[in-house]
Amino acid sequence: MIKDGITAAWPVCLGYAPIGLAFGVLAQKAGLSPAEIGLMSLLVFAGSSQFIAVSMISGGAAAIPIILTTFTVNLRHLLMSSSLAVHLRRLNAGWLSLYAYGVTDESFALNMTRFREQTWDWRRALVLNHTANLAWVVSTVIGGYGGQFIPAGAFGIDYALPAMFICLLVLQIRGGLYVAVAVVAGLLAVAFSLLFPGNAYIVAATVAAATIGVFLRKWKGKAGESGGVS
């Protein structure tokens, strides 16, 4: 069981390592000690918001704006946890609270794919979450100690996370409707990201595309009843 979770987690760890190192280097340049970097990774555990926070810290921003920005950047997890809840029915509040800590873009997408398989359960998902968490905390701290010694762009490590996202997206596609929702979400996200500053475009495009998906499914269902074509 533990082995299953760790085996499934290693591509995520591979993706986190370069980003974590890069974060550690930046955080160190912003004046944070390795202990401070590790504490942020442990308490927040959300890559993009940590990058933004560090750039705000080095820009001399106050705590409240940093916390508010963190909130808006990480609000997308609200959607992910809602989606995960369907698969975590028999858990008590304690396990749910522990699970909530490990909800990230990557662990969410990977566990959602795995939950559709019979062999996957919440225990394995929890192991995956915490293995990924460990990789994140450790790599950010190492970055804080001396990640600058790793040459930038070596072995294409900057592309580990985008490649992982692409595969996770592919694994979520289970038919034409899902392709349609992906295309709508992607195009809306590009449009919103160009029109509005900040990160609200992620949540806005996701909510809009999923809603369109529900209507498409309804419409397709009706067409199927009357015309016999599904």
Among 21, 25, 27, 40, binds another protein (CB under 8 A): 40
Minimum gap (Å) between residue 173 Cβ and another protein: 6
Minimum gap (Å) between residue 207 Cβ and another protein: 8
Among 67, 219, 223, 224, binds another protein (CB under 8 A): 67
Give 97 or 222: the residue with its C-beta nearer to another protein.
Answer: 97
For position 151 contacting another protein by CB under 8 A, the verdict is no
Let me know: does 100 contact 81? Beta carbons within 8 Å: yes
Locus of tokens 């985008």: 162
Stated length of the chain: 230
Region of 22-30, 130-138, 141-149, 205-213 interacting with another protein (CB under 8 A) = 205-213
Query: Residue 90: which residues within 8 A CB-CB, separation 6 or more?
Result: none
Nearest-angstrom CA–CA distance, 128 and 122: 10
For position 99 contacting another protein by CB under 8 A, the verdict is yes
Let me know: does 169 contact 139? Beta carbons within 8 Å: no
For position 55 contacting another protein by CB under 8 A, the verdict is no
Locus of tokens 């034409």: 176
